[in-house]
Amino acid sequence: MTDPGLALYKMSLDDKNAFWGECAKLIDWYQPWETVLDESNKPFYRWFSQGKLNTCFNAVDRHVNNGRGEQLAIRYFSPVTDTEYAVTYAELQAQVSRLAGYMQSIGVTKGDRVVIYMPMIPETVYAMLACARLGAIHSVVFGGFAANELATRINDAKPKLVLSASCGVEPSGVVPYKPLLDKALQQSEHQPSNCLILQRSQYQAELQQPRDHDWQQSVCQAPAVDCVAVEATDPLYILYTSGTTGQPKGVVRDNGGHAVALAWSMKHIYDIQAGDTFWAASDVGWVVGHSYIVYAPLLVGATTVLYEGKPVGTPDPGVFWKTIERYQVKSFFTAPTAIRAIKREDPNGEFVAKADLTCLNSLFLAGERCDPDTLNWASEKLGKPVIDHWWQTETGWPVAANLMGVEQITIKPGSPARAVPGYQVEVLDEFGEQVSAGQSGNVAIKLPLPPGTLTTLWQNDKRYVDSYLSMYPGYYLTGDAGYMDEDGYLYIMSRIDDIINVAGHRLSTGRFEEVLCQHAAVAEAAVIGVDDNLKGQVPLGLVVLKNGVDISEDQLHKELVALVRQEIGPVAAFKLVSAVQKLPKTRSGKILRGTMRKIADNKDFTPPATIEDPQTLDLVRSALTRMGYADALLKQHA
């Protein structure tokens, strides 16, 4: 029997030009490309060179031109502000073209950067699309990040304009964004010439003349402007993501490859077409939000749901299911952590049973490893396929997934299934040799990566090559470790670097350590990710104090938790920290974070032969026990 998924996969690798050339017909081009895959500057592969298009035209205008103007483009639902409304494609076009008109009037043109620091409201989508319309490069910064993180990104991207809102609204209350933006701009060397601020009714921001402008007033006076043709290879956006150092990596996405790959993925992976309703319950500040709240659903003429709320508590654990019923969502995407939060409050699925989910075809999960318990709970309660799929900010769209639009799927809990067409995924040992089925190794993707994946890091080709391409020449290193079974199903088990994943949010332990070391009492710090029943992982810090420092454990804890919140942001969820006399290290001075993690999570380990002082492991064990980890966790679970 033929396997359509496998046949498609083979086609995608055997003749990349034919495969992606055909897929590119999903997009409207002003000028066709000369080469599908441009290998003239390896390892900087480019897709659809010399082709010209506009991503906003493809996501908005062409649907209006094709008679879909009255169809809903966005359904906005905000239980935290008790607001709900819909935006048609024609209305979206009017909003975006006027915002672009305003931006153009203050001098924003193709190639300029625009930072967007905004909550989950339709204006954020307008902002991204308005940049795309002009060929300006947007960089969205997640609202849960602190001023300092925003400043780092502003300094790197050097925007001409910042688009922001007066506040975000969290279940805990209003989060004023404008004071955070002001603080970031005080800290950053680079200064944008203008900031456009959307005043929300929950909080009135102070505007500083002449830099700040009121969104509503400015945009209503602006002329509507048309889409600007850009090269397929021109950047559409920069999205910063955590690397192993405190300096985030600015992932660069192009226009052409991105539009083609996302449109292809909607049909083949998510089984979504024009007129369907798709909902990704994430945030536009993350890659899931970029790809599957904004660009992909709009590129194919579907309706996207923009949700400003949480899986639980806004108001209850049934909000996802009721919203799916109300909007007739066909395919739903969230993070496993959201399902764990729901399961904790509604273990028997009583809220699931209250909603009519006939409309729903499947639930997609990504952002972190999905434990089989969570997957099994969701598939049992929903009675629908629950698809774990794996990808990263860098790839922009799924690397491994079951293809809902192509084949009869087989789900193996714990596995995000097989590699998606376009991605030649291999599991390699330390010498770059493929390991056999079932054996663990580093997960790598043979170059070239397919369209829609990162083209480089913003103004840092060297870091791009060093971080991703240098360990295995000819391959992209994903940074994930795992194995593949004899059917080609991947199992992504952990990171090989110092990145942790907190509630689906990717954070760098190196950045936490930098911040802890800013404290006057701290000489040295080590941060690890420890297992957490809700968030998957949470950060845990161990610090060594400077000689002669006199501070109580309680006071130290309070100050360090506050410092991380102030420097990285609330999203860091940093609550566990304790002092130790000495950190475990190798004789060459490398901190044994992996060993500490194993102690914390009660996993078997052998102390490395190169350990400098084996007694430090006992110090760590007792500190972890005091924090409720290591032995204490065993006892709790016994």
Strand ranges (E), 320-446:
331-334, 362-365, 386-388, 425-428, 441-446
> How many binding residues for ligand COA (CB under 6 A)?
25
Among the listed residues 139, 233, 255, 282, the single contact to ligand COA using CB under 6 A: 282
- Segment contacting ligand COA (CB under 6 A): 85-93, 280-288, 297-305, 386-394? 280-288
Buried residues in 343-375 as b, exposed as e (16+ CB within 10 A): beebeebebbeebebebbbbbbbbbbbbbeebb
List of long-range contacts for 551-554, beta carbons under 8 Å, 24+ apart: 551/521, 553/578, 553/579
Residue showing tokens 């108001």? 315
- Segment contacting ligand COA (CB under 6 A): 228-236, 306-314, 323-331, 424-432? 306-314
Chain mean position to CA 299: 19
Q: Say whether the peptide bond before residue 4 is cis (omega within 30 degrees of 0).
A: no
- C-alpha angle 540-544-545 in degrees, rounded to nearest 5: 125
Among the listed residues 41, 172, 209, 408, the single contact to ligand COA using CB under 6 A: 172
Per CB under 6 A, 573 contacts ligand COA: yes
Query: Which of ligand AMP, ligand COA, none interacts with 570 (beta carbon under 5 to 8 A by kind)?
Result: ligand COA
| β-strands 35-38, 46-49 pairing | antiparallel
Least distance to ligand COA from the beta carbon of 156, Å? Answer: 21
- Segment contacting ligand COA (CB under 6 A): 29-37, 167-175, 401-409, 513-521? 167-175
Nearest-angstrom CA–CA distance, 525 and 516: 6
Task: Show the site string, 452-491: x = touches ligand COA by CB under 6 A, - = not.
Answer: ----------------------------------------
Query: Which of ligand COA, ligand AMP, none interacts with 298 (beta carbon under 5 to 8 A by kind)?
Result: none
Q: Between the CA atoms of 142, 147, 152 and 155, what dihedral angle is there, to the nearest 10 degrees?
A: 100
C-beta closer to ligand AMP: residue 97 or 415: 415
Query: Which of ligand AMP, ligand COA, none interacts with 442 (beta carbon under 5 to 8 A by kind)?
Result: none
Task: Show the site string, 508-537: x = touches ligand COA by CB under 6 A, - = not.
Answer: --------------------------x---
The neighbouring-strand residues paired with 541 are 527, 577
- Segment contacting ligand COA (CB under 6 A): 66-74, 191-199, 331-339, 598-606? 331-339
| β-strands 362-365, 331-334 pairing | parallel
Q: How many CB atoms lie within 10 A of CB 466?
A: 12
Nearest-angstrom CA–CA distance, 362 and 526: 41
Per CB under 6 A, 174 contacts ligand COA: no
Query: Which of ligand AMP, ligand COA, none interacts with 338 (beta carbon under 5 to 8 A by kind)?
Result: ligand COA
Among the listed residues 69, 143, 250, 584, the single contact to ligand COA using CB under 6 A: 143
Phi, psi of 544 (to 5 degrees): -105, 130
C-beta closer to ligand AMP: residue 150 or 366: 366
Q: What does the binding site for ligand COA look like in residue numbers (CB under 6 A)?
A: 119, 143-144, 168, 170, 172, 175, 282-283, 286, 288, 310-312, 335, 337-338, 341, 367, 503-504, 534, 570-571, 573
